[in-house]
Structures are given as C-alpha cells and as structure tokens.
Amino acid sequence: MNRDYYEILGVPKNATEAEIKKAYRKLALEHHPDRTHGDKASEEKFKEINEAYSVLGNPDKRSQYDMFGHNFERMGINQDDIFGAQGTSSIFEDLVGDVFSDFFGGRRNSKNRKIRGKDVEAVLELEFEEAVLGIDKEFTIKRTGVCDKCGGTGAKQGTRPTTCRSCSGAGQVYYRQGFLTVTKTCHVCNGSGYEIQDKCRDCNGTGRVLREENISIHVPPGVDNDSVLRIQGKGSAGHNGGQPGDLHVIIKVKEHPVFKRDDQNVIVDMFITYTQAVLGDTIKVPTLYGEEELNLPSGTDSGKEFVLKHKGVISPYDRRKGDQIVRVHIEVPKHVTERQRQLLKEFDEISLHENKNASKGIFDKVKDLFQ
Ligand SMILES: [Zn+2]
Ligand SMILES: [Zn+2]
C-alpha cells in the first residue's frame, strides 16, 4: 500500500538533502491545489509528496525511515506528525511560500499563524541490560515552555499586548510590484499582529522561558545504541498557541564486559582448555536470561561458534527474539609446572606414534614433493 518515499519524490536512496528539497519543490509546485484547480488525482499526489518530504526532508526521520521503512511509526512517530500542526501548508510555505505569495497575491493569511514548537534532543545513557530488557527511566531535560508570569503574552503583568501599528494587526503588509500585489509578513510584530509596550521581565517579552523538567519514559526492551525514542509534546512550546514540539531521546548504550551485541544477536566469548576441546565437556554459559549449559563435542576447534536459540535480544519493532552466539577459544596456559611439562611431552610422544599412520606430518609431505 505505502509507496516508497524516495520513489514518490523520484530521488535515489543516497540523494543529498539539497537534491531531496529540489525534487520536492518541483513536484509540489506541479501538483499544488492552487494550480490544479481541485483535480482529485493531483490533490492526492500533493498529499503524498508532502508526506514523503516531511520524512525525507528531516534527517532524523529520514534515518529512521531508512532503517525501519513504513514501520517507523512504531518507534513513536505517528501520522499526526506528518499532518499535524506543522501540516502540509506550513512546510510548503517555508519552502515555496514566497513564490506563491507573489503568484497568488498572498492568499494565505499569516496573522497569528500557529507555529509548532521546535523538537528538543536529549541523550539517555543506559546500561547494556537496561537497553536489552527495557526499563522505566527518569531524567532531566531543558526545554522552552510558556512563561508562567505573563501566560505567554510577553506583556508585563497587568498589561496587554496592543495592536501592531505597522500592520494594524493584520500581521502582514501589502505592496504593489508592477501589476502584482505582494504580501510580506510584518517585520515589526513578526506576523503576530501585536506589539508589546511593557515587556514581561521573566521572559523579556518573548512569552517563553527555558527551564529544566523531569521526564519519565518507558524504554522498550531491545533498543540499541543510537536508537531514537520520540515523546510527543515534550519539545519546546509552540508560538501563537501552536503545539509544542517533540522530545527526541537518543539512546546511548554502555559496553558490557561479557555481552556484545550484533543487532538482535548477543555474542559471548568463552575460553576453554585444550583438554576440554579435545575430550569435549559441558560448560556453563552466561546468557541475558541466566546460566545455560552448553555441550562441547569432542574435537572442538578454537573459534567454533555455537548458537543458543532465542537467547538474544527482543526486537522493539517486530518482537522477534535473536540468538546468543557462543564463540569458544582455546586458552593456552602461559606457565606450566615440571609435572605438567612431563605429561604434555609424554602426550606428544604418544600422539606422534598414534598418528603416524593416520596422517603424514608436514615435513613428510614436503619431502614427497621433491622426490
Ligand atoms: Zn513572561
Ligand atoms: Zn505588525
């Protein structure tokens, strides 16, 4: 059902940000409702283009999309975000707005336009086990919120913002250029239509303050290093009553002394003795879910890998569980006692005798070559 976003914009997977932007502008202009006069197919196409660009045009969302495809909303990105307060028109205006103001005489009224707040990023460091098994975490973030003192108006307590004298509250100014009427956002009030005479001291007239806030989040099991969890509405406050942005929590996972991670699989290196390798043995192996017994067959080579099914990490996307890979390595003793030395030599002599007929030594093979 869902068409590939790259395909929609007609760009290759490795397209640069500039290439994506260019492709979007071209297509959006072509299919813009103002030009296609209510053509249904074009309208659908226009929506599709905007949806694709709202993801590919944002580096964070793009990398999530690259990783998870259309399932990426499972990471917490939902469709509201695509057609939310920062909907098609505002993304569009940011990019092509001026061109259209010129073409269509400023059809859009930007007075008191609701503007969604900025997204905020925070880094959360987790222990290996916390990331693998999931955990509830509380931490502190800094984000811009609405000023409590003035309630976000920016005007000193007891006063109110007044109508902007430059634009008479329209938020935009008009002027003629040749036969066209051009509109621009009023630079005195930045489009709000209001002016502030006495600024609120707490926020210096901005209506917004930066503050620390405790956030508690549920980290689902299986998140990996550099995973991003999105928490809706916990970013900076919006302007003119716009929705707040989102909080992007970037997960950093600490290294573990025993467990290493390879996607959903866990790798553990185990050291065994020469005797265990030759004769075989049952060894105890640590897993994320407790100790497991592993049967080493006789004649196990160093570097051999054993798979413990479903002892890996649960995928936060499709709930599938990976395996644990046990790599065994033969540990060569660095110091031996005199008795050990004797026994090893004896072992060697017997081995030479026993194996003589079974396989020729390397020197015999070389000799054969030159005969
Ligand atoms: Zn204030
Ligand atoms: Zn103004």
21 in a structural domain: yes
Q: Which ligand is nearest to the CA of 154?
A: 1
Domain co-membership, 230 together with 351: no
Show the beta-strand stretches assigned E in the chain.
120-126, 135-146, 162-163, 172-177, 180-185, 194-195, 208-219, 228-231, 247-253, 260-262, 265-272, 281-287, 290-296, 305-308, 324-330
Q: What is the CA(162)–ligand 2 centre distance, in A? A: 10
Residue 157 located in a structural domain: no
Please indicate, yes or no, if residue 177 is contained in any of the structural domains. Answer: yes
pLDDT at position 241 is 76
Question: Do residues 191 and 204 share a domain?
Answer: no
Do 208 and 150 contact (CB within 8 A), yes or no?
no
Question: Considering the chain, what is the average pLDDT of its residues?
Answer: 82
Q: Of the residues 255, 270, 289, which one is the last residue of a structural domain?
A: 255
pLDDT digit string, tens, across residues 321-358? 999 999 999 999 899 999 999 999 998 898 887 766 55
Whether residue 59 is contained in a domain is answered as: yes
Residues 61 and 82 in one domain: yes
In angstroms, what is the span from residue 245 Cα to ligand 1's centroid? 20
**Which tens digit of pLDDT belongs to each residue from 144-166?**
998 989 888 888 988 888 888 98
CA 371–ligand 1 middle distance (angstroms): 98
Residue 45 in this model has a pLDDT that exceeds 60 = yes
pLDDT, tens digit (0-9, with 9 covering 90-100), for 192-231: 788 888 999 999 888 889 999 999 999 989 999 988 888 8
Which residue did the predictor score with more confidence, 34 or 85?
A: 34
Q: What is the pLDDT of residue 321?
A: 92
pLDDT digits (tens, 9 = 90+) for 232-248: 899 998 877 788 899 99
Residue 27 resides in a domain: yes
User: Which residues are within 5 Å of ligand 2 (an ion), measured at CB?
Assistant: 164, 166-167, 186, 188-189
d(CA 206, CA 113): 16
Q: What local confidence, expressed as pLDDT, does residue 363 receive?
A: 66
Distance from the alpha carbon of residue 195 to the mean position of ligand 2, in angstroms: 7
Residue where one domain finishes, among candidates 238, 255, 272: 255
Question: What's the domain count of the chain?
Answer: 4
Of 144, 171, 195, which one is at a domain's C-terminal end?
Answer: 195
Considering the domain architecture, whether residues 12 and 92 belong to the same structural domain is answered as yes
**Closest ligand to the CA of 187:** 2
As a whole number, mean pLDDT of residues 81-103 equals 40
Within this chain, do residues 134 and 58 fall inside the same structural domain, yes or no?
Answer: no
Residue that is written with structure tokens 């260019």 in the block: 22
The C-alpha angle with vertex 319 and arms to 289 and 72, in degrees rounded to 5, equals 135
State which residues form the domain around 294. 260-369
Pick 84 or 275 by higher pLDDT: 275
**For residue 250, pLDDT beyond 70:** yes
The answer to whether residue 142 is domain-embedded is: yes
Mean pLDDT of 56-82: 63
CA of 161 to the centre of ligand 2 (A): 12
Q: Are residues 265 and 237 in the same domain?
A: no
The confidence score (pLDDT) of residue 319 equals 80
Q: How much distance in Å is there from the Cα of 184 to the middle of ligand 1?
A: 27
Q: Look up the CATH number of the domain holding residue 237.
A: 2.60.260.20
240 CA distance to ligand 2 centroid (A)? 14
Per-residue confidence (pLDDT) for residue 25, from 0 to 100 = 84
- For a pLDDT cut of 90, what percent of the chain falls above it? 37
**Centroid of ligand 1 to alpha carbon of 116 (angstroms):** 19
Phi/psi of residue 108, nearest 5 degrees: -80, 130
Residues 6+ apart with CB under 8 A from 42: 31, 33, 36
CB neighbour class for 247 (10 Å; exposed up to 12, middle 13-18, buried from 19): buried
Residues 86 and 180 both lie in one domain: no
In a domain, 182, yes or no: yes
Record the pTM. 0.56
Nearest ligand atom owner, CA of 193: 2
Q: Domain check: are 301 and 363 in the same one? A: yes
Ligand nearest to the CA of 111: 2
Ligand 1 center to 145 CA (angstroms)? 10
| Cα 173 to ligand 2 centroid, rounded to whole Å | 8
Q: 298 with 338, same domain? A: yes
What are 320's two structure tokens? 């599938």
Q: Do residues 1 and 96 both lie within one domain?
A: yes
Question: Do 180 and 234 fall within a single domain?
Answer: no
- CA of 162, nearest ligand number: 2
Q: Is residue 83 part of a domain?
A: yes
CATH number at residue 73: 1.10.287.110
**295 and 172 within one domain:** no
